[in-house]
Structure 1
Amino acid sequence: MILKGGQVSSFLRKPADQVWCVLVFGDDDGVVADTADQAISGWTKQTGGAAKVITIDDDDIRREPHLLGDRVETASLLGDLDIVRVRTSGEKIAKPILALVEAADQRGAPFANRLIVQSTGLNTRSKLRTGIEASKSAAAIHVFADTSDNLRTLVASRIEDLGGAIDPDALDSFVALLPGHRGLANQETEKLALYGHKLDRPISLADLHALSQTDAENSVRTMVQAAFDGNASLCLAEYDRVAEVGTSAISILRIFEMEAKRLLQARGLLGTGGDIGRKLRPPIWQNEWPAFRSRLDRWSAASLAKLIAAVHDLELQAKLHGPAADAAVRVFLLQVIRSAAQRSRMTASR
C-alpha cells in the first residue's frame, strides 16, 4: 500500500496492525531516517516499550539472504517485539524483502516482528518500491526535502520539548540559515535547543550569532568554498584543521554537496531579478555575494551536476569503508581545486 499526506502522520502515531513492513524512501536521507525513527517509535509504543531495534547491513543480507527472514520471522522467547532496520539504496536487497512481503500477503497475517527499510533513489520503476506499494501487509512512504514551514515546525517543537522558547524573528533567521539536509539541520537544531534549555527567556538573534556554527564547521565551509575558488593553500590548510578535530568524511561531503546545490540553484535563478542571494538556502548576504558570484561564473550547471554525482559516489564509499575514505576525499578536493584553477584561466581569457 501507499501512504500519503495525512495517512502518513496517522500511521506514524498509531501503526496499523496488519502492516508489518514499512519502506521509507526519498532523496534526503535525513528525512528518511527521521520518518523511520517515528515508525519505530509508533511500533514500540504499541508494545508498551517491549521492543528491540536490530540493525542489519544490506551487504550482510546479500551474503546471507536467509538472515533477513530469520530476523523477521523468528519470535522472541520472551515475547518482545524485534524491529529490524535495514538501510539500503536501489535494488540491492529487493529480492529477499519482496519474497517476505509476498509470503506475508499470501498467508494473510503479519510476521512475528517488524521490518523498516530506509532507502534513497527509488524511481517509479523500482521493483522494491512497486512491490511494496502493491502489497496489503507492507506500506511505502515517499518523503521529500523540507520546506521552510516544515523546518519552522521542527525547530520550534524541538526547542519546546526541552522547555525552551525562541523569538519569532530569531526562528525565521535560524530556519533561513539551516542547510537543506535534514541530518545537518537536526544537528544545528539540537545545539540551539540545548542552549535554550533552562535559559529562562526566549532565544534571541544575538544568541543565534553566538551559536550558529562551531569553528570546525566554519573551517569545513571555508575549505569547500576555497576548493570551488581553486585556492589550494587555503583549502588544504582548512582540510588539515578539520581532519585534526576528527570531522568525518561524510560531514565534509554533505557540506560540499550543499554548496554545489546552492550554486546550481543560483544558476537557475540568474535573470529572474531581485536579490538572488536571499532566495538561496542558506542565503548569501550582500558582503558574501561578490565571491559567490565569482564561483558562479566559474562553474557551469553541467560541471556542478557532475560534481554532485561524484560526491554521492564518495559518500557511498565513506559509508562502506569509514576512515579509509578520508584519502579519497583529499584527492577529490585536489581535483576540484585543479578544475577550478583551469576554469578561472578560461574565464580570464574570454
Structure 2
Amino acid sequence: MKIDARSVARILREPGALRVILLHGDDSGLIRERARLAATAIAPNLDDPFRVAVLDRDAADRLDEEIFALSLAGGRRVVWVRDGGDSLTAPLKASLARPSDTLVIVEAPGLASRARLRALAEAQADCAAIACYPEEGRALEASIRQMLAEEDIRIDPDALSWFAGLLGPNRAATRGEVEKLALYAGRGGQLSLDDVRMCIGDAAGVSLEDAAFAATAGDRAGADIAIERALAEGTSPIAVARSLLSHLHRLRRARIAMDGGQSRADAMRGLRPPVFFKRTDAFGQALSLWTAARLMEAAEQTQRLELECKQTGAPDLALCRRHIARLAATAMAGRRR
C-alpha cells in the first residue's frame, strides 16, 4: 500500500505486521535514514548478524534464503536490501505467498514510477511503499527543528530560515550540518543567527550565498569563483536556482520599499531574516544597481533555470554558470547606467 506523508513516521516507528517496506525517490540520504529507523524498530542492534542481514542489489538469489532463515537468538529478523530494483519483484512476490515474520526493507533510489517492484509494494496490504523526495520550505524547517529538538536544542526563527535556505536536496548532508550545529550548541542550548553562521561558515551553502551576492552586485570574478566552489562542494543546480530566487525576492522587497519612500538602510532593516552585517555592503550596492522591474525579470529567468535543470539530460552545471554570468552582466549594466 502507498503510505501518505502524515503516516510515514508512525509506520517507521511501528512497522507492525508489515512484511516489506519499499523506500523510493530522489533523496538517497532520506531513504537511508528511514531504512535505518525501520530496521532499528525491529532489531535495535543492527550489528546483530542473527537478526539483521544486509544485501546488495546483486543478491536477489539470496533473498528467499534470508527471509525464511531462523533467528537463533529469538526475535524478528530484518533483511535490508541496498539499491534494490525490479529484479527483486519475483522473489519478493514468491516470499509473500508464504508465512514469515521477517521484515524486508528495500532501498530503491531512482525507482521509476511504473516499476514492477513499486507496483507490487503498492498493491499488497502487508507492504508499504514510501516516497522519499527532497524536503523544502516549511517541511525542511520542521525536520531541522525536530532533529535539534532530539538534543533539546532550540533555534531562533531567523537562524532556522537562513540555515534551511543554504541546504541542498540531500537528507544525509542536512543531517550532517544539523549534527555540527548540535555539537556546537550542546544539549539544551539555543542557536542564534550568528551562531549558525559561525558554525557552518565553511559549508557549500555559504559559497552559494557568496555567488548570489557577488552576481547581483556586479562582481563577475567573485561570482564565478564562488559558484565554482559551491558546485565543487556538492551543491546541486536546483539548490543554486532556489538560493538565487530567494536572494532576488529579498532584493525586490527592499527595492519596492525604497521606491515607496524608505531609505536604503530602513528597507534592509525591514527584511526578515535581516541581512547579515558582513553582507550589508554587497546587498546595498545591489539595491543601487537594480530596479524592481529588472529584479522581477531576473526572478522569472531564475525560475526558468530551475525548470531547465530538471529536464533529463540538461547541461545543468553549464546552465547555472551561464545564469550567474548573466546576472552579473545585468548588474554591471546597471552600474554603467
Global fold match (TM > 0.5): yes
Q: Does 1:161 align with 2:150?
A: yes
CA contact (8 A) 2:167 2:205 kept: no
Q: Does 1:12 align with 2:12?
A: yes
Which amino acid in structure 1 is aligned with residue 24 of structure 2?
A: F
Q: Does 1:26 align with 2:25?
A: yes
Q: Secondary structure at the match of 2:89?
A: helix
CA deviation after TM superposition for structure 1 residue 97, in Å: 1.7
Give per-residue Cα distances to partners, 1:44-81, cap 9 Å, x unaligned. Answer: 2499976435251x4xx2xx652544554555666683
Aligned positions of 1:22-171 closer than 5 A:
22-45=21-44, 51-52=51-52, 54-56=54-56, 58=57, 61=58, 65-75=60-70, 81-87=77-83, 93-94=85-86, 96-107=87-98, 109-110=99-100, 112=102, 114-120=104-110, 122-123=112-113, 125-146=114-135, 148-162=137-151, 164-169=152-157
Give the greater-gyration-radius structure (CA).
2
Give per-residue Cα distances to partners, 1:227-252, cap 9 Å, x unaligned. Answer: 9999478635874xx5xxxx996x52
Q: TM-score, normalised by structure 1?
A: 0.62
Which amino acid in structure 2 is aligned with residue 205 of structure 1?
A: L
CA deviation after TM superposition for structure 1 residue 225, in Å: 8.2
CA deviation after TM superposition for structure 1 residue 194, in Å: 1.0
CA deviation after TM superposition for structure 1 residue 134, in Å: 0.7
CA contact (8 A) 1:101 1:137 kept: no
CA deviation after TM superposition for structure 1 residue 103, in Å: 0.8
Match of 1:306 among 305, 308, 332: 308
CA contact (8 A) 1:227 1:340 kept: yes
Please tell me the root mean square deviation across aligned C-alpha atoms, in Å. Answer: 4.9
CA contact (8 A) 2:227 2:321 kept: no
CA deviation after TM superposition for structure 1 residue 193, in Å: 0.9
CA contact (8 A) 2:211 2:222 kept: no
Q: Secondary structure at the match of 1:87?
A: coil
Label 1:300 to 1:115 Cα distance change in 2 as closer, same or farther (>3 A).
closer
Cα distance between partner residues in 2 of 1:219 and 1:10: 37
User: Which residue in the other structure is 2:259 paired with?
Assistant: none
Q: Secondary structure at the match of 1:2?
A: coil
CA contact (8 A) 1:22 1:138 kept: yes
Label 1:234 to 1:131 Cα distance change in 2 as closer, same or farther (>3 A).
same
Q: Does 1:257 align with 2:238?
A: yes
Q: TM-score, normalised by structure 2?
A: 0.64
Label 1:149 to 1:110 Cα distance change in 2 as closer, same or farther (>3 A).
farther
Label 1:82 to 1:166 Cα distance change in 2 as closer, same or farther (>3 A).
closer
Label 1:283 to 1:233 Cα distance change in 2 as closer, same or farther (>3 A).
same
Cα distance between partner residues in 2 of 1:311 and 1:192: 36
CA contact (8 A) 1:69 1:100 kept: yes
Label 1:197 to 1:110 Cα distance change in 2 as closer, same or farther (>3 A).
same
Which amino acid in structure 2 is aligned with residue 110 of structure 1?
A: S
Q: Does 1:195 align with 2:155?
A: no
CA contact (8 A) 2:154 2:190 kept: yes
Aligned positions of 1:237-316 closer than 5 A:
239=228, 251-254=233-236, 256-263=237-244, 287=283, 293=295, 296=298, 299=301, 301-309=303-311
Structure 1 unaligned regions, length at least 5:
315-331
Structure 2 unaligned regions, length at least 5:
257-267
CA contact (8 A) 1:253 1:311 kept: no
Identity of aligned residues (%): 19
CA contact (8 A) 2:156 2:191 kept: no
CA contact (8 A) 1:86 1:117 kept: yes
CA contact (8 A) 1:104 1:111 kept: no
Cα distance between partner residues in 1 of 2:72 and 2:161: 52
Give per-residue Cα distances to partners, 1:88-121, cap 9 Å, x unaligned. Answer: 5xxxx21x221123212322x2375623223236
Cα distance between partner residues in 1 of 2:301 and 2:106: 40
Q: Secondary structure at the match of 1:209?
A: helix
Which amino acid in structure 2 is aligned with residue 179 of structure 1?
A: L
Match of 1:208 among 189, 196, 199: 196
- Number of equivalences: 301
Cα distance between partner residues in 1 of 2:144 and 2:129: 26
Cα distance between partner residues in 1 of 2:314 and 2:38: 27
CA deviation after TM superposition for structure 1 residue 170, in Å: 5.5
